[in-house]
Structure 1
């Protein structure tokens, strides 16, 4: 089940997923949902594909960003304790997030918004990167408020517990990738790869049979052959900053309310949907090497752990072919 490979790392900071653009394909890059989007498609269809993907992400960001006061998510958070009608998009994302919370026994928790505020993550990461923030007023904020969320399917209304704050974060990004690719299957003929800051999914393999994707992790040699499906990486180094004298990052353990510190620097998982990959990578990282690997095995998802001591550990089913 285990493949332990000692990797000499000068720094454990993971690199962004890297991949080779096949002959006859081209790429486009833009910013959305607090990250960088990269799309690879056949040259003749790239412009059309980018137009549809950009429009999809613009809608998702306008609806679900907690950093936009006018977004539907921000409006819902401001009305915690009250019953609020919501759009189908927000409803679907919340339903998916709550299903993930139940499946992970609360290790994935979509109600850690106030916890994020307490550690200084109160604006987009581009606005806090490199800053030293003031110490928190209240810390930690424990998870679990998701259990009190009420959803009325007949009226399509949501009632958050008083004081609860949703933060969909990565799961919304993963779902947006899946939604964009579902739309692209209707307008683009041919393989496509879409990467949203490490949440990566594909429509079929390229003509040479597989996407060559470098494993996210500085110093890890080789690349895997991804023939379809999705990958996601969760890392304590992707969004990190200083708060007073204390280093912080965006991955909170809902059991303690504190940023995770368990010896795992990054997890990468490969599965069929980007949303599932995003949740699985985050849960595995929060649980740690042993419990996280057991969790992935129960879900039937292949995973890779990059440890702070330089080890690279993979679970059963991880693509081993290097290209």
Structure 2
């Protein structure tokens, strides 16, 4: 059934600017109420910053949680469990990787294939895995599409055993970063951290609020510019954005981005250029930011209307901004975008 949207026109203004994740200003040797400990490192193809009010040694432990997971799920690391499965057609996943596979397949089913962990050969054909960008000919795409079908992945969640058909390649990248942020945050919680912000390059995971009780301020980038267009006030949740502006190339006057539609083998042409998901579960948010981008506004709004575990911000190709009703009291437009009309999607 088609979702009917109840639209409320609102605008809000922020008195000052913002960053993609504020509240992580400084790296010091000793934490104070106003200055968190922080570490910066590169992993999962992005620059990452973990900031927390607590012992810096704990942050290093959280980093290890993330980097250990990356080594196990990488599609290019010959020592990873996913690499082994792709090379041999079968294998066994352990611990967090098995849990991640279970969650990924659940999200593929829940989104009716808008998320598909077997899309990797298509992404590779467009050059997004190598940087050798190209528009593949249609015959190449059509030859690869039969192997884009997550339902053909055989997974035993009890043993962790996975079997895939010959010619199929799986990749958990569409959910792994959000899941890794969530696992790192849980490690910090388990070690006594009550206030932290983990910035994984567009994926933000917060723990609690700031020490003074105020929420974290997380910026949403203008897809057509370099500045934040909106700030969300967030406490103990993840904020994850997928946008066509993140990775793309231009050829013959056309722009092609990395978010692929599993049904067509082409970059998703859904009328959206940015989707931000806010929720308690980082892995779920990561998966939904991609799959709702593929769905487009109407189907994504309908999906949200039938769910109760996330909120969303959608930016269309024409520059319209839609937010779900759970965020209407938690956002503010930046000064540069103060005249933007924001439409609220209600159930």
Q: What is the TM-score normalised by the length of structure 2? A: 0.80
Q: Structure 1 residues 117 and 220 mapped into 2: Cα distance closer, same or farther (>3 Å)?
A: closer
Match of 1:20 among 20, 23, 29: 23
SS of the residue 2:290 aligns to: helix
- Conserved in 1, the CA contact under 8 Å of 2:234 and 2:330? no
**1:212 offset after TM fit, Å?**
1.5
Match of 1:103 among 107, 110, 123: 110
Instruction: Work out whether 1:295 is the aligned partner of 2:300.
Output: no
SS of the residue 2:24 aligns to: coil
Cα-to-partner distance string for 1:6-55 (whole Å, 9 max, x where unaligned): 99xxxxxxx9833233723243321101112111212x52x223211221
- Conserved in 2, the CA contact under 8 Å of 1:39 and 1:50? yes
- Conserved in 1, the CA contact under 8 Å of 2:242 and 2:293? yes
Instruction: Work out whether 1:119 is the aligned partner of 2:130.
Output: no
Partner of 2:168: 164
SS of the residue 1:317 aligns to: helix
Partner of 2:221: 216
Q: Structure 1 residues 321 and 260 mapped into 2: Cα distance closer, same or farther (>3 Å)?
A: same
Q: Structure 1 residues 248 and 16 mapped into 2: Cα distance closer, same or farther (>3 Å)?
A: farther
Q: Structure 1 residues 244 and 119 mapped into 2: Cα distance closer, same or farther (>3 Å)?
A: farther
SS of the residue 1:306 aligns to: strand
Structure 1: distance between partners of 2:171 and 2:253: 26
Instruction: Work out whether 1:86 is the aligned partner of 2:88.
Output: no
Cα-to-partner distance string for 1:73-118 (whole Å, 9 max, x where unaligned): 11111122xx423323332211111111111111111110111111
1:13-92 matched pairs, under 5 angstroms:
17-21=20-24, 23-42=34-53, 44-45=54-55, 47-80=56-89, 83-92=90-99
Match of 1:285 among 280, 293, 297: 293
Alignment size in residue pairs: 305
Cα-to-partner distance string for 1:180-229 (whole Å, 9 max, x where unaligned): 11111122433011121211111111123211122232466552211221
1:235-250 matched pairs, under 5 angstroms:
235-242=243-250, 247-250=255-258
**1:58 offset after TM fit, Å?**
1.4
Partner of 1:12: none
Q: Structure 1 residues 156 and 212 mapped into 2: Cα distance closer, same or farther (>3 Å)?
A: closer
Unmatched segments (≥5 aa) in structure 2: 1-5, 13-17, 26-33, 333-347
Unmatched segments (≥5 aa) in structure 1: 8-14
- Conserved in 1, the CA contact under 8 Å of 2:51 and 2:197? yes
Structure 2: distance between partners of 1:118 and 1:6: 42
Partner of 2:177: 173
Partner of 1:276: 284
1:132-281 matched pairs, under 5 angstroms:
133-136=133-136, 138-140=140-142, 141-142=144-145, 144-208=148-212, 209-217=214-222, 218=225, 221-242=229-250, 247-281=255-289
